[in-house]
Copies of this chain bind each other. A is one copy, B any other.
Amino acid sequence: MHGSRLPSSPIGIFDSGVGGLTVVRAVRAALPAEDIVYLGDTARVPYGSKSPETVTRYSRACAAFLLERGVKLLMIACNTATAHALPALSSSVPVSVIGAVEPGARAAHAVSRSGHIGVIGTLGTVRSGAYEAALRTMNHGAVVTTQACSLLVPLAEEGWTDGEVAAAVARRYLAELAARDPAIDTLVLGCTHYPLLAAVIAHAAEEAFAHPVRLVDSASAMARVARETLTAADQLAPPGRKGSLRCFVTDASRLDELAPRFLGEPLASYELVDL
C-alpha cells in the first residue's frame, strides 16, 4: 500500500477529534490545490487527559491509517499527540511529519518582546514540557509558563464560547497564569479548540495582565510550515486545481453539529472507520 509519494498525493492530517479541522481550514487557505485526508479519532477523544503511552499508541494507529492512504506529508493537528508522539512518529514513518508545537512556538518566539511566553493547553500538553523545550531551543533565555485549562475544550464543544460561564472560566485560568508570571506578553493557544474561544481568552488576558498580550494560534503557523516543507521537497500539488477533502472519523456522534464550527463551513461528507 505504501506507494511512492507524488506531488498529487494528499496531505494527511490527524487529530484526537474534530478540533483539527481548524488546521484543515488553515491548510486549505494556504494551499488550496492540495488534496487532504483527515482522520479524527472521535471514538477515543479526548487525548489531553490521557497518559503519554496511551496517546502514543493511538497516534501510531492514526498515522498508519493515513500512510495506507498514500499521504505525502503527515500533520499532527493535536497538541497532545504532538507532545507525546512526534519523535516516535518522525523516526518511523517514510514522510515528513509536522507537529502542532514547533510552529506555534516559533510564531510566539517571533512576536514576543519580553521573552516571557505563556502557553495554555490540555493537561497532557502542559505536563509534556514540549513547548518549554521547543522555545528554549529558539531562545535560551525564554521564560515559558504553562497553564492547563481542562474546561476549555468541553466549553468550546458545548458551544458556550461567550457569556457568563466562558468569561468566568477564562478569567480563572488567566488569573492563575498571570499570578505565576506577570511579565508574559505572548500567549500560545496550545490546543486546536481554543481559537473558538479567542475573544473571551483575549478579554480575560486583558484583565489579568496590566499590558497588551499577543495571542498566537498554531493552525496558521502549521499551514505555513506545510507550504515550506512541500516547496522544499518539490511536492506541491499542481496549481490551478481545487483540492478535495476526505474526512474519516472513528465516531460520528455530534459531527454535523461540531465540524462546521471548526472547519468554518459544513462538512460535505465523512466516512466512519474502526481503527
The verdict on A111 contacting chain B, using a C-beta distance below 8 Å, is no
Q: Give chain B nearest CB distance to A191 CB in angstroms.
A: 14
Chain B residues within an 8 Å CB radius of A51: 251-253
> Is A251 a contact partner of B50 (Cβ separation < 8 A)?
yes
The verdict on A183 contacting chain B, using a C-beta distance below 8 Å, is no
Determine how many copies of this chain the complex contains: 2
C-beta contact mask, A20-56 vs B, less than 8 Å → 1, else 0?
0000000000000000000000111100011101100
Chain B residues within an 8 Å CB radius of A172: 164-165
Stretch of A2-10, A150-158, A196-204, A227-235 on the interface side: A150-158
- The complex places the Cα of A153 from the Cα of B157 at a distance, in Å, of 13
Q: Could you say which interface size class chain A belongs to?
A: 20 to 34
Chain B residues within an 8 Å CB radius of A247: none
Nearest B residue (CB) for A255: B51
Q: Within residues 73 to 93 of chain A, which ones have a CB less than 8 A from any CB in chain B?
A: none
Chain B residues within an 8 Å CB radius of A153: 154
- The complex places the Cα of A21 from the Cα of B30 at a distance, in Å, of 48
- The complex places the Cα of A54 from the Cα of B43 at a distance, in Å, of 7
The verdict on A168 contacting chain B, using a C-beta distance below 8 Å, is yes
Nearest B residue (CB) for A253: B51
The verdict on A245 contacting chain B, using a C-beta distance below 8 Å, is no
List A residues at the B interface (Cβ < 8 Å): 42-45, 49-51, 53-54, 123-124, 150-151, 153-155, 157-158, 160, 164-165, 168-169, 172, 250-254
